[in-house]
Structure 1
Amino acid sequence: MNLNITNTVSKSTNYKGFLFDLIIYISIMFLVREIYIPKVGFIANGLYWSFTTLIIATWRMKVRNVTWKELGLRKPENLWRTLGVSSIILAATMLSLIAFNILIDLLPFSLGADTSSESAVSKFGNLKGNWGHFFLIIPFILLESMLEELLDRGFLMNWIEKLFSSTSFATVIAVILQAAIFGFRHSNDFSERSITVGIIGLVMGIAYVKFGRNLWPLIIAHCVLNSGSMIGRVID
């Protein structure tokens, strides 16, 4: 992994400022999830949580004079290379998850039960054989996938990296911490699901650094990954 600290955010780092930003951002990220509106369903609530966090991130970026383009939301130089990188990210993600599933029984501790299948029904409805419902909700799933890459790899990772930029391992710390937060946020516990999602975040974080800090290959890979998961629930 390239350990060189990016100058994306600023040349002179305001450590207290970035720490302040992260405290606000992470606090809002988790506190807003305590507000759940049952009548509108999980998808609408999820988008409400993400857009609220997006507003906070954009606000703090404006304070630091940083744009989303600088963090990686910029036009790819080559479409085919972007698709190729997305394919590499997908393959790396799947291989990492397969390896984890093989090694999980060798762990020296027990993990919480993976209830993702049951919770998916309560979140998205019964998708089995229901293609109409799939096409109804998939645009929102793709939008949420994009928002997660903007927020977790684009904003959170860069801000953590800047906070630790006085160390030689700032990028490594940023990749690991954002993946841990990403995994924990999806289950609020230490379980098979949180580790699985954390592994996805870890692969995405490494890919973000290794492939030029452009968010589009990650967004494409994340969208395909989540689409495949939802299709699996339809045909399962």
Structure 2
Amino acid sequence: MNSHKSRLSHHNNLWILWFDITLYIGVMFLIREVYFLQFNFITNGLFWSFSTLILATFLLKVRGITWKEIGLRKPDSFKKALLATIFIFSFTIISILIFQMLKDSLSLNISPDQSQQQAASKFGDMSDNWGLFLIIIPFIWLQSMLEELLDRGFLINWFEKALSSTWFATVFAVIVQALIFGFRHSYDLSERSITVALIGLAMGIGYVCFGRNLWPLIIAHCILNTMSMLDRV
């Protein structure tokens, strides 16, 4: 009888976790339909991320989990954290380069990257504008941190728990969060969405392979986005 009740309770918990995931992803995408025209893209982007963060924090609290438990904590070893950051950054760059080579050699039928034009409309003309760069970059770092908290920290852990924390659950969680991450940045099959998905995949692999500490991912993500913004100055 106790064994039956335990299995029933576990089954109910899994349904609750899937409800959490459905609600979370729904809010993550639907909140992006809200756009305040009187504010710039960065302000709207931070509004979307902080709104999702509030929901994630609420779900964590309800389930009795803290951000510290899923990775927002001081690294056990700064040397290992540094090595993890270097690996994640290098793996991300290599993955993107391999994709670029395959795209060119196999003539993959995907939409071209329009990130330069999109950046101009989102951030303004940054050509030789170091003042604008210095104003924008702290907010870019903040957004990078929020994305790691939400996409790697929250989503990977929730998918794993909903699939009973098996090895398959971890593989599934890493891949699916990367696909969501890529699609959310472009809403199509394009160079940009695939590139961003590869970044999400590299970050996800780094997360599960290096002690599930979020700081190496956050630092690597900030460096990548800084390089991207520098390329536009």
TM-score (norm 2): 0.92
Structure 1: how far apart are the matches of 2:208 and 2:220?
15
Structure 2: how far apart are the matches of 1:230 and 1:188?
21
8 Å contact 1:153–1:204 — kept in the other structure? yes
User: How many Å apart are 1:128 and its aligned residue?
Assistant: 1.0
Structure 1: how far apart are the matches of 2:81 and 2:222?
14
Closer, same or farther in 2 for the Cα pair 1:109/1:102, shift >3 Å?
closer
User: How many Å apart are 1:70 and its aligned residue?
Assistant: 0.3
Q: Which one-letter code corresponds to 2:20 in the other structure?
A: D
User: Structure 1: where are the runs of 5+ without partners?
Assistant: 1-10
- Counting matched residue pairs gives 224
Q: Which one-letter code corresponds to 2:130 in the other structure?
A: W
8 Å contact 1:13–1:162 — kept in the other structure? no
User: How many Å apart are 1:231 and its aligned residue?
Assistant: 1.1
Structure 2: how far apart are the matches of 1:146 and 1:64?
23
Q: Which one-letter code corresponds to 1:102 in the other structure?
A: M
User: How many Å apart are 1:112 and its aligned residue?
Assistant: 1.4
Per the alignment, residue 20 of structure 1 pairs with 19
Per the alignment, residue 128 of structure 1 pairs with 127
Q: Deviations over 1:157-191 (max 9, x none)?
A: 11011112265511000000000000000001111
What is the aligned-residue RMSD (CA, Å)?
1.6
Structure 2: how far apart are the matches of 1:43 and 1:216?
22
Residues 1:66 and 2:60 aligned together: no
Q: Report matched runs for 1:129-144 at 5 Å.
A: 129-144=128-143
Per the alignment, residue 102 of structure 2 pairs with 103
Closer, same or farther in 2 for the Cα pair 1:107/1:173, shift >3 Å?
farther
8 Å contact 1:72–1:213 — kept in the other structure? yes
Per the alignment, residue 223 of structure 1 pairs with 222
Structure 2: how far apart are the matches of 1:72 and 1:115?
34
Per the alignment, residue 184 of structure 2 pairs with 185
Q: Report matched runs for 1:166-177 at 5 Å.
A: 168-177=167-176
User: How many Å apart are 1:136 and its aligned residue?
Assistant: 0.5
8 Å contact 1:76–1:216 — kept in the other structure? yes
Closer, same or farther in 2 for the Cα pair 1:220/1:195, shift >3 Å?
same
Per the alignment, residue 79 of structure 2 pairs with 80
8 Å contact 1:208–1:214 — kept in the other structure? yes
Per the alignment, residue 114 of structure 1 pairs with 113
What SS is found at the alignment partner of 1:31? helix
Closer, same or farther in 2 for the Cα pair 1:133/1:104, shift >3 Å?
same
Larger radius of gyration: 2
What SS is found at the alignment partner of 2:64? coil
Structure 2: how far apart are the matches of 1:12 and 1:215?
30
What SS is found at the alignment partner of 1:88? helix
Structure 1: how far apart are the matches of 2:224 and 2:158?
26
What SS is found at the alignment partner of 2:182? helix
Closer, same or farther in 2 for the Cα pair 1:43/1:111, shift >3 Å?
same
8 Å contact 2:160–2:166 — kept in the other structure? no
Structure 1: how far apart are the matches of 2:220 and 2:165?
32
User: Structure 2: where are the runs of 5+ without partners?
Assistant: 1-9
User: How many Å apart are 1:84 and its aligned residue?
Assistant: 2.1
Closer, same or farther in 2 for the Cα pair 1:176/1:42, shift >3 Å?
same
User: How many Å apart are 1:80 and its aligned residue?
Assistant: 2.9
